[in-house]
Structure 1
Amino acid sequence: MTQPLLPIIPLRREDLPVDTVELARYMVGKYVVHDVPEGRMSGRIVETEAYPVGDSTSYAFVGRRPYNAAMFLARGHAHVRLTYGVSYMFNMSSEAEGTGAGILFRAIEPLEGLALMEARRPGVSLRDLARGPGRLSTALGIGLAFDGVDLCAGRGLWIGKIEAEDIPVAVTKRIGLSREMHELLRFYVPGSPFVSGPRKLLMQPTSASI
């Protein structure tokens, strides 16, 4: 018997805050969906990271280039980047058209299409299937072909929400950077086992309600 799909509603561009930090907070508890010929993969977003305007660690900091042009699209477009020649980072543009900034999707709680994700990441636990940005992209089958895709289109690779959900959100320091790590720009679901990074960095968060 086929499992009914979750009632995920596509997010409209007008639903998205026109501010990188606010958007990073807003997207926690929302959903990433990837519809493929074999079925649907989806997960609840449990961790994001903001790279606002002027952030020296942002891919957009150097100005618009062919490789980062998607970050200058209107909020809600995918920016996919290969990092260290190994992992794809799945980001989303976060400001008005022409302003370069974005948020990084760091982790999801896998919910639908688990067999499809596990086929891409064999031999790992459910907890580790998409816990971390590189793992997330691999599990969902996200590569450079998705750079610039409109995530508000409601088809293929898209973002959505489930009505009437109330998900707690906390904020803490960023990780994996060589500078500006002190900024409170990493948002996550407190208590979620699917959040990436060392547990000790989540012990004393500054809470923020959706």
Structure 2
Amino acid sequence: MNLWNLPTLVLAKELLGMKLIHLDDDGKTSGYIVETEAYLGPEDRAAHSYNNRRTARTEVMFSEAGRVYTYFIYGMHVCFNIVSGPVNKPEAILIRALQPIEGIEIMKERRVRAKTEIQLTNGPGKLSKAMGFTLTDSGKKMNEEDIRIEDGMNIEPNQIISGPRIGIQYAEEAVHYPYRFWIKNNPYVSR
């Protein structure tokens, strides 16, 4: 089964428990994905590609699934997403939180303000900084360069919780869509 062929809402749940790995000049960092958030493209008011909006930033969302989509939020934090829809159906999944596995010392150097290990990666901007993701990663193909995904923890369907997405008050009715998924009782899930 090709992971990237799955429908976005299915993939967002399937990614939970998977191991996200980044190799860069500092070394290897990795973590289990414990929280995701799906964005369903042109029909989803919360998606950057709502109404088929094409910009230099969103262009990667129109390419094939399995590409990295990174962007700035609040002008200072990078968010890491995986493109998930078919070509010209610009959907993506935001990786919201990770449970660190490898490279924890590297993560601590990058996130000096984190007081606990949980605070290293319990939010999209935090995990991107801890993992060393940047805007230059946008467009890379998963598992072909320095960003990989592998099997990790086995997550049963009854361990997956869903609820509304966070931080999208502008999105009218899309505010209430239950497109955020997380592993029940995992301490690394964002607040």
Structure 2 unmatched ranges of 5 or more: none
Structure 1 length-normalised TM: 0.82
Q: Is the 8 A contact 2:111 2:129 kept in 1?
A: yes
Q: What is the identity, as a one-letter code, of the residue corresponding to 2:7?
A: D
SS in 1 for 2:175: coil
d(CA) in 2 for partners of 1:86, 1:151: 24
* 1:184 corresponds to 2:174: no
* 1:66 corresponds to 2:56: yes
With 181-190 and 34-43 compared, the bigger mean Cα shift is at 34-43
1:148 equivalent among 127, 139, 153: 139
SS in 1 for 2:50: coil
Q: Is the 8 A contact 1:121 1:138 kept in 2?
A: yes
Q: Is the 8 A contact 2:46 2:175 kept in 1?
A: no
**Percent of paired sites with the same residue:** 30
With 174-183 and 40-49 compared, the bigger mean Cα shift is at 174-183
1:104 equivalent among 94, 110, 115: 94
**Residue 21 of structure 2: aligned partner:** 33
Structure 2 length-normalised TM: 0.90
Q: CA deviation at 1:66?
A: 1.6
CA deviations on 1:27-52 (whole Å, 9 max, x unpaired) are 11111100124421000000000101
CA root-mean-square deviation: 1.6
2:10 equivalent among 5, 22, 26: 22
Shift >3 Å, 4+ stretches: none
* 1:55 corresponds to 2:49: no
Q: CA deviation at 1:195?
A: 0.3
**Residue 205 of structure 1: aligned partner:** none
Q: What is the identity, as a one-letter code, of the residue corresponding to 1:116?
A: I
Matched residue pairs, number?
183
Structure 1 unmatched ranges of 5 or more: 1-11, 198-210
Per residue, is there more helix in 1 or in 2? 2
